Homo-oligomer: A and B are copies of this chain.
């Protein structure tokens, strides 16, 4: 159990109280891990004012003792299904009602509880733990810094190793392998290595196209550290001669990114940050070529709150960590996206990532 787990549980209890709830069933494993420090699977957390109980099975008995000794563990027997054990546990707690995660609880689980627990009202809740997770504490920011360092060290090795004959797929493999050598658990998502026209697809998968086949390559990558925190960056590297088109598209994207980053501070809305980047791209005539939101929170999930998009009303708070990643995608030519990870501080912002992004030095080969 990390030192911050009791604080996080208390915060959740405060959110529950606002909704007149005395207890909560947490079924999303990422949320369970956030609240308890437990890193295993197939386990559910029940949180009440006085108790934190982890319902698990014998595979994880030792691990629970090691990772979260303060937690009550309810180890179900092998003959008992998870749902049966859950109903039994809840019914013993003398509750009149319990909240559950509406988007993270299957219909099947809900149906079983609903039929077993006649006298307890099951109350669907939405995004409560996710709301807490939007604001990172000091320990989490340190974890994110580590995931970023792993990603950046890996990228530095890759960049130094690039040769024209290497394929997108080989580059993606090398990058993931190198990040692991620097301590990462793995890549935080399927690495994108997209040469030339392939870069026009925001979610391109690596192919056997060779890096030397076009004048530039877009790389979107990140590391997940051993605790499960994710980093997320994008850079475009060019080779040969720098075309005027790449120069133009790149500089518009970079300006949009820099102005948006400069606007990050507590109190500004996510939609406003998105608007700042989007208007620069629109004014340059590429408005329709930027078809996704400006960014998203990162943490235990690679995509989490807050969304930074035209429709996002969320107000930035100190401790939020978001990506800022404007892009311009021109079918048949290619695309440019530049992405950094930004912490909202009390005073404004801190860019956590540090891979150089000036076009002049983003050269390889």
Using known A-B contacts A59-B203, A203-B59, determine if residue A100 contacts B107 with beta carbons closer than 8 Å.
yes
Which residues of B are found within 8 Å of A106, using beta-carbon distances? 102-107
Which residues of B are found within 8 Å of A126, using beta-carbon distances? 108
Interface residues of A in 110-139 (CB under 8 A from B): 110-111, 124, 126
Which residues of B are found within 8 Å of A181, using beta-carbon distances? 170, 173
A269 CB, nearest partner CB in chain B, Å: 19
Interface residues of A in 139-188 (CB under 8 A from B): 170, 173, 176-177, 180-181
Which residues of B are found within 8 Å of A58, using beta-carbon distances? 291
Determine whether A202 belongs to the interface, using a CB cutoff of 8 Å to chain B.
Answer: yes
A293: nearest chain-B partner, CB-CB: B78
A109 to B100, CA, bound (A): 14
A108 to B126, CA, bound (A): 9
Q: Which of B104, B111, B177, B180 contacts A124 (CB 8 A)?
A: B111
A196 CB, nearest partner CB in chain B, Å: 17
A203 to B39, CA, bound (A): 12
| Of listed A105, A108, A110, A176, residue having the most chain B CB within 10 A | A108
Which residues of B are found within 8 Å of A105, using beta-carbon distances? 106-107
A256 to B111, CA, bound (A): 41
Which residues of B are found within 8 Å of A62, using beta-carbon distances? 201
A103 to B109, CA, bound (A): 7
| Of listed A107, A201, A203, A291, residue having the most chain B CB within 10 A | A107
A114: nearest chain-B partner, CB-CB: B107
Which residues of B are found within 8 Å of A291, using beta-carbon distances? 58
| Of listed A100, A106, A126, A180, residue having the most chain B CB within 10 A | A106
Using known A-B contacts A173-B177, A181-B173, determine if residue A202 contacts B59 with beta carbons closer than 8 Å.
yes
Q: Which of B103, B170, B203 contacts A108 (CB 8 A)?
A: B103
A325 CB, nearest partner CB in chain B, Å: 15
A58 to B329, CA, bound (A): 14
A202 to B63, CA, bound (A): 12
**Given A103-B108, A107-B109, A173-B177, 10 further pairs, Cβ under 8 A:** A59-B202, A59-B203, A103-B106, A104-B106, A105-B106, A106-B106, A106-B107, A107-B110, A111-B124, A177-B177
What are 19 inter-chain pairs, A to B, with CB distance below 8 A? Answer: A59-B202, A59-B203, A62-B201, A100-B107, A102-B107, A103-B106, A103-B109, A104-B106, A105-B106, A105-B107, A107-B109, A107-B124, A108-B124, A108-B126, A110-B110, A170-B181, A173-B180, A173-B181, A177-B180
